[in-house]
Amino acid sequence: MSNHTKETQRFVANIPCIPSNYSRLIARVLELQVRDLPSLLELTQLSVTQFMQQDTLLTSQQQIQILENALRLSNNEAFGLQLGNQLTPATHGAMGFLANSSSNLLTALKAFQTYIPTRMNFSRLELITNQEWLECHYYIDLDVSTDIRRCLSEASAMTLFEFAEHIVGRPLDEAKTSFTHPEPSYSKHYADYLPGKFEFSAQHTLVKIPIHLCQIPNVSAHHKNYLLALRQCEVMLAELHSSKDTCQYQVQKMMLSQPPGVLCEDEAAAQLFISKRTLARRLRTEGTGFRQIRDKIISQQATGYLRDSHMSVEAIAALLNYHDSANFRRAFKRWFQVSPDQYRQRFNKP
């Protein structure tokens, strides 16, 4: 069975949305003092004060510029490996927490595929599965130099293997990693950082993992933590993909900040200081409606639980605030034309 997502991630290069903690980590890897930071921030139009604030967000152009400055300051071709070695799961915020709490490696990597735009909006992960392998294709949707592409590819591969080792419980020595860049002068050091085999000048940047390793249960899986992190990631993704000027975005944000299905149309209108009729008219102008937005959010959460957990349909219904599982089953069939049990069987069918 092949599962290949072909949709290209769209992003706007000049919108700040990349957490600045990655760049502060770069500064630590370079062992910079505060007085040295202006050289790292050259051409970014960021002040040292802005850079040091935890909630500062960077544009993709600023992030790439900081990487270019870092490569120049480090004078070390292998800086990508150095940086990747410091990228712990905690570095990736809610997305890292979600992956670590996942039931197995496949579920963790699907989380990465979905939510990587919330951390690095110009990066994209696509997964292709067959009977033997899971292929993790890594893309950079920006025109960057060969050095930057190499640095990002190395650090991203190390991030993937860091999570894989945590979930599987050992290094993935059976893995095969392909890089598009030519073999670097320091290639003999790759084995010090990355498990398995490597090839260079490949057509695609990808990591191949035996499929049976992806299905080993994660001994550190924690379903409650997984659901908490999932909800947080969904909120961030909704914020990233929606226009904050739309009524639809405001309603989505309200829904995602409360337990599923709790927000009613009257309450949403009241929070926006408009009438229920005005809310309906504005949403209709944007090509949607309150029930459509609610159904989309709940249906996405429902399919996630069916795919990525062993919870019963009754438990999922309760979690989504359906007081009667029969009502949930009817709603699910209206959304997907199959029952929850049929959906789960089809998805899990080899």
Q: Where are the domains of the chain?
A: 18-214, 242-348
Average pLDDT over residues 122-140: 93
CA 323 and chain centroid, separation: 32
What's the token pair of residue 1?
């069975």
> Mean pLDDT, to the nearest integer, of 294-304?
86
Between helix 290-308 and helix 276-285 the angle, nearest 10°, is 70
Look up residue 288 and give its two tokens. Answer: 């949607």
Sequence letter at residue 121: N
Pick from 238, 296, 255, 245: nearest CA to 117:
238
Residue 11: pLDDT over 70: no
Q: Does the pTM of the predicted model rise above 0.85?
A: no
pLDDT at 2 over 50: no
Q: Which amino acid is at 153?
A: S
Domains 18-214 and 242-348 share a fold: no
50-71 pLDDT, tens digit per residue, is: 999 877 888 889 999 999 999 9
Residues across the chain: 350
In angstroms, rounded to a whole number, what is the distance separating the alpha carbons of residues 150 and 12? 23
Tally Cβ neighbours within 10 Å of residue 318: 15
Find tokens 């919108």 and name the residue.
15
Q: Are 125 and 106 in contact (CB under 8 A)?
A: no
- Tens-digit pLDDT profile for residues 322-334: 888 999 999 999 9
Fold of 242-348: Arc Repressor Mutant, subunit A (1.10.10)
C-beta of residue 85 within 8 angstroms of C-beta of residue 158 = yes
> Would strands 176-178 and 133-140 be described as parallel, antiparallel, or unpaired?
unpaired
SS3 per-residue string spanning 227-291: HHHHHHHHHHHHHHHCCCCCHHHHHHHHHHCCCCCCCCHHHHHHHCCCCHHHHHHHHHHCCCCHH
Q: Kindly state the DSSP code that residue 7 receives in the 8-state scheme.
A: P
The closest alpha carbon to 318, from 275, 271, 259, belongs to 259
d(CA 12, CA 115): 17
Contacts of 106 (CB under 8 A, 6+ apart): 129, 134, 214, 215
Spatial contact of 217 and 243, defined as CB atoms under 8 Å apart:
no
**φ and ψ of 315, to 5 deg:** -65, -40
- Position 13 scores a pLDDT of 56
Which fold would CATH assign to domain 18-214? H-NOX domain (3.90.1520)
Q: Nearest to residue 237, comparing CAs of 140, 135, 151, 115?
A: 115
Give the model confidence (pLDDT) of 212-263 as tens digits: 999 999 998 988 888 888 888 887 787 666 555 678 878 887 887 677 778 8
- The token pair at 283 is 């949403």
User: Torsion-angle region of residue 43: left (phi > 0), alpha (psi -120 to 50) or beta?
Assistant: left
